[in-house]
Amino acid sequence: MTPTGPSLHLSWAELGCKDGTPYPSIWRRTRAVALALEFEAFRHLCGDRPLEILSGFRTSEWNRRVGGAGNSQHVQGRALDILKPGNFTLEQFWNLAHAHAMDRSGVFGLGRYPWGVHLDIRPANRLVVWNGSRPDADNG
């Protein structure tokens, strides 16, 4: 952990809810650290280029507002929506995310969207993969 976030390239501000609610302190040394480890490993696969977080933690109210899943891992502080960088096609970005999830990582939820990918560290013993259709991520 760093003073500004759970890892060098992921800040508490990026993890906080878009409604201004900070990432819950009860999960900062557990879920946030585990999520940041997966983010950093994925970022490394992407050539250590900056990645933009569209959505991290969401309050239940914000999750409903943006049309999130009822049992969203965002509400549990275990998910990131990551914007596809301009130097990748969606297919390239998805392939890197999928390769990371398949490589004995702690990623057990992986979604593909027009804007990029959803990664989560849900408690599970197998990878759940889906193709989403929401055009926006947490722009509420």
Q: Give 14-23 pLDDT, tens digit per residue.
A: 999 999 999 9
Q: Give 65-116 pLDDT, tens digit per residue.
A: 999 988 899 999 999 999 999 999 999 999 999 999 998 889 999 999 999 9
pLDDT on residue 104: 81
What residue numbers bound the domain in which 24 lies?
12-131
- 3-state SS, the chain, equals CECCECECCECHHHHCCCCCCCCCHHHCCCHHHHHHHHHHHHHHHCCCCCCCEEECCCCHHHHHHCCCCCCCCCCCCCEEEEECCCCCCHHHHHHHHHHHHHCCCCCCEEEEECCEEEEECCCCCCCEEEECCCCCCCCC
Is residue 131 predicted with pLDDT exceeding 80?
yes
137 in a structural domain: no
Give the domain CATH number at 40: 3.30.1380.10
In total, how many domains does the chain have? 1
Is residue 2 predicted with pLDDT exceeding 80?
no
139 in a structural domain: no
136 in a structural domain: no
pTM exceeds 0.85:
yes
Q: Give 28-63 pLDDT, tens digit per residue.
A: 999 999 999 999 999 999 999 999 999 999 999 999
Is residue 140 predicted with pLDDT exceeding 70?
no
23 in a structural domain: yes
87 in a structural domain: yes
